[in-house]
Structure 1
Amino acid sequence: MENRVHAMGSENTMEGVKFASETAANTNRRALRDIKNIIGNPHQHLAVSKRGLLEKPAAADPKNQRGFAGHRPVTRKFAATMATQPASAPPAPVGSDRQKRNADTAFHTDMECTKISDDSPLPMLFEMDDLMSSELKEIEMEDSEEVAPDIDSCDAGNSLAVVEYVDELYSFYRKTEDLSCVSPTYMSRQTDINEKMRGILIDWLIEVHYKLELLGETLFLTVNIIDRYLAQENVVRKKLQLVGVTAMLLACKYEEVSVPVVDDLILICDRAYTRADILEMERMIVDTLEFNMSVPTPYCFMRRFLKAAQSDKKMELLSFFIIELSLVSYEMLKFQPSMLAAAAIYTAQCTINGFKSWNKCCELHTRYSEEQLMDCSRMMVELHQGAAHGKLTGVHRKYSTFKYGCAAKSEPAGFLLDA
């Protein structure tokens, strides 16, 4: 009897399991799926509503004027897709009654979203039009800009020419050249020296530079260090020569392979200063300039612009003669290093050719037109005319030698003053 009862209980249990399996298969869901998730069941305070994370209620959305709760914004792609698709009946829901109600709700939701997108303008329409128009303007500006001719193809095999990034290098020089400039009126703040004393100092340093056979970069950096230091510190006249020789020592340490010793500089100054004086002045200069010696000088631009002008040796020497005359003149401090270099080459071309000469290649690489260079060039012509006269003739004597091609003996381009 007991065995029979157990057998009946087992059969009832197996039938219950079989019924549950068939029910789950017919409803297309797993058993126990809707436990505590029945419609109308009180929401648990620890439960997380995924729908609440994605949608906002109708009251929280001020733009939802139709009363539709929680619809997402319609994208342009979705609206275009819905507009091209033919209207179709809602898909036949399969499953329980609750799944049928959810499917009907989803269909009506999609239809209402489509209706809203048809009645109202697409979102971000004006913003997209403005963005596209601005992009078209940028493209037109890029197309209108002229590309500078390639002047580096001949140096493709020269690793020292750094053809790969030479354009970026000079673009950086143009952006930072203001850091190397000083106020053209800084001498008014000096109490014991003036611009004439500065000219005498630099004219003397050009001769020292020539006697020591130093690099061209050293001379231009020396003058730059002197001007930047005098623009910040008040110097008495008996210390001005000390500032000059110390600036040349610093420039040599930065540019030269073989640096002159301090004792040689003492002899050059006729023992007016001691070794301790030079070392102390060196400390003061680097402290004032904050050890910043990496500044673009006119020499940096001269090499690049001469290459763009396809210059020969004669034009190169004449250009350097003109720009070294500009180093001595205090009035030329109002021009940037790149303009000084471009104007010197332009003036040299006019001097050699006897007429105005400035082609498109030079204009694109220097970024200066002939009109922009005219004021600076006229001042250079005046300096050329008076180079052989007066007290400051060091540059003229230097470039009157055969080593420098007797460039100083060229006839100045006086016709530029009449233009």
Structure 2
Amino acid sequence: MTKPGIKRAAPDEPRKSQYQLRGGRGSDEALLAGIESDRRLSKKLKQRQIEEQAQQQVQQVLKELQQPNAKDRDLALGHGAARLKLLAPDLNHQEMEDGHLMPQYPSLNLAHGQGDRYAVSGEFLSSCGDAFKELRGYTVDRIFDACSRMRVCKEALPLAVRLLDYYTHTLWAKGESLLQRNVVAVGYTCLLIASKYEEREPVVINDLITLMNEVPIGKRDRDYTRIDFLRIEQHILMTIGMELPSPTYCAFSDRFAKAGSIPLDTKDHAFVQFLQELALTDYTFSQYKSNIISAAAVYMTRKMWLLMPGQPRHGEPSWTETLKRVTGVQKSQMTSCAYEMARLLRSLNRPHIAIGKQDGCIAKWSTPANYNIASVFYD
């Protein structure tokens, strides 16, 4: 007996689900399949949420284990040379006095271990010719200008100049002409490669084309295009065997400055950076290892601003035992580099005695943001 209002299905009519949609769509099989699909999707979402939460917890623990400059380290994760800094912990003064930061940390000894194959030879410097030296000085000055105008990160500048020197040295070692490609175009291409290595977003190649075509005709042979830069980039990478000349001084300078009692983010620390960047303009410094240049910059900064009578560290040795342990450099190893650095300072803003062109570097370091450091040495 059927209840009132309920229609009995015909014997040959398939039974429909009581949850069937009013529009007549769906059946038991489709509904069950949909429920099972929803269950699998929900399970995947829960599993993904659990994995994301676990990853976030791991990242949080890692950040808590890092030292006070954790924020800077997070920013550095996207850079290349700056990764070297992450391989060694930040230590306080007492820990450095106790002998920490020793050879087991590769960020300080990478240049020692590899013998710094990327420093050019003295024979190359004496035989490369005056025409190339002049073009090299002009090119480095243009790289400085490009970095300032395009706001390239500070790690890309030394890598670009070091890559230029390493590439030309490799050509010389193979017996090829150093002037077979326009040196200025090669310099801009080195900056392009360096920015790809150091920056999250590399420089825009069209901007480099604009800068290159602004160069006077005497320094370039024609108008350059995107294809020209890509071909030069390919030739550079094939010539150096895809090995970029790192580390640069950026891997050493901050730690060496700490060991030399030079506080970070101060005028004295900025002077260390200034000396290292000024050294890029002079081809003489391309024969020194990066750690030697950083050590010499710290040594000169201490001599000029910390150890004189009335200054904070007056009476201390110019090269302390802590500096010897942290840098792995003896004073005798950097004497010639420090001497060249003193000569370089005497030549600042004196083009008639300077080796290389310093206009771009002086312009950068004559701003209030950089303590007007270059202005101190003007006549």
Structure-1-length-normalised TM-score? 0.57
User: How much has 1:177 moved relative to structure 2?
Assistant: 4.7
- In the alignment, the residues of structure 2 paired with residue 316 and residue 333 of structure 1 have an alpha-carbon distance, to the nearest angstrom, of 22
Pick aligned residue for 1:369 from 318, 330, 337: 330
1:332-343 → structure 2 map (5 Å cutoff): 332-343=285-296
Give the counterpart of 2:301 among 348, 360, 373: 348
1:290 to 231, 241, 263: 241
* Alpha-carbon shift at residue 357 of structure 1 (Å): 2.9
Of residues 392, 395, 399 in structure 1, which corresponds to 2:358?
Answer: 392
Conserved in 2, the CA contact under 8 Å of 1:184 and 1:333? no
Q: Call closer, same or farther: CA 1:176–1:410 in 2, change over 3 Å.
A: farther
How many angstroms apart in 2 are the aligned matches of 1:192 and 1:321? 26
1:229 aligns with 2:229: no
> 1:244 — aligned with what?
187
Counterpart of 1:6 in structure 2 is none
Pairs within 5 Å for 1:165-184: 167-184=105-122
Identity fraction in percent: 25
Pairwise CA RMSD? 2.7
Partner of 1:19: none
Which residue of 1 is the match for residue 212 of structure 2? 269
**Greater Cα offset, 239-248 or 373-382:** 373-382
Aligned equivalent of 1:281, options 229, 232, 245: 232
Partner residue in 2 for 1:409: 375
| Conservation of the 8 A alpha-carbon contact between 1:217 and 1:255 | yes
Q: 1:364 is aligned with what amino acid?
A: R
Structure ID, larger Rg: 1
In structure 2, the CA distance between the partners of 1:157 and 1:372, relative to structure 1 (3 Å rule), is closer
Determine the structure 1 residue equivalent to 2:267.
Answer: 314
Local SS of the residue matching 1:178: coil
1:202 corresponding residue in structure 2: 140
Question: Highest relative contact order (Cα 8 Å, sep 6+), 1 or 2?
Answer: 2
Structure-1 separation of matches of 2:106 and 2:203: 34
Question: Structure 2: which 5+ runs fail to align?
Answer: 1-64, 74-85, 90-100, 172-176, 215-222, 309-316, 352-356
Letter in 2 for 1:350: K
Pair 175,408 (structure 1): closer, same or farther in 2 beyond 3 Å: same
> Which position in structure 2 is the counterpart of 1:254?
197
Inter-partner Cα distance in structure 2 for 1:157 and 1:210 = 25
Matched with 1:331 is: 284
Deviation at 1:158, TM superposition (A): 4.2
Letter in 2 for 1:405: Y
Structure 1 counterpart of 2:238, one-letter code: D
Structure 1: give runs of 5+ residues left out of the alignment: 1-152, 413-419
Q: Does 1:382 align with 2:343?
A: yes
Give yes or no for contact 1:318–1:408 (8 Å, CA) kept in 2. Answer: no
Name the SS for the 2:213 alignment partner.
coil
Q: 1:169 to 1:377 in 2, by over 3 A?
A: closer
Length, aligned pairs only: 260
- TM-score normalized by structure 2? 0.62
Listed one character per residue, the Cα deviations across residues 5-64 of structure 1 (whole Å, up to 9, x for unaligned) are xxxxxxxxxxxxxxxxxxxxxxxxxxxxxxxxxxxxxxxxxxxxxxxxxxxxxxxxxxxx
Per-residue deviation, 1:201: 1.1
